[in-house]
Amino acid sequence: MHMMSREMQACIDACLSCYQMCFGMAMTHCLEKGGDHVKPKHFRAMMACADICRDSAHMMLMNAPQAQAICKVCAEACEACAKECDPLPDMKDCAAECRRCAEECRKMAGQKMAA
């Protein structure tokens, strides 16, 4: 088995969970609801968040030297998505998931890494 710090595994889990929430919601709930849910700014925030979360997990899994830099951008995309979801009552779970992931990504981005 390959070694992975507990902190990194927690961040990967948060990223893949947030990716599933944002991408899954965007492509089913938001598309089917229409209206505010498919406004470019909202929908794009959902998709950008989903994509960076998915990619952050990928970079951590490969132990890429740029993983922390990507986690930093990921935290920003998650916060932006949470803010977009706040005004829509049926997107509260999504906003919460985004904030949980942003928190994990900030921890990861701020960490000293083994060389």
Binding site for a copy of itself (CB under 8 A): 1-4, 12, 16, 20, 23-25, 27-29, 31-32, 34, 38, 40, 43-45, 47-48, 51-52, 55, 57-59, 61-66, 69-70, 73, 76-77, 80, 90, 93
Q: Give the separation between CA 35 and CA 58, rounded to whole angstroms.
A: 33
Q: How far is the CB of 51 from a copy of itself (least distance, A)?
A: 6
Q: Return the structure tokens found at 64.
A: 């890429």
Pure H helices in the chain: 6-25, 31-33, 40-61, 67-85, 92-109
Q: How far is the CB of 6 from a copy of itself (least distance, A)?
A: 15
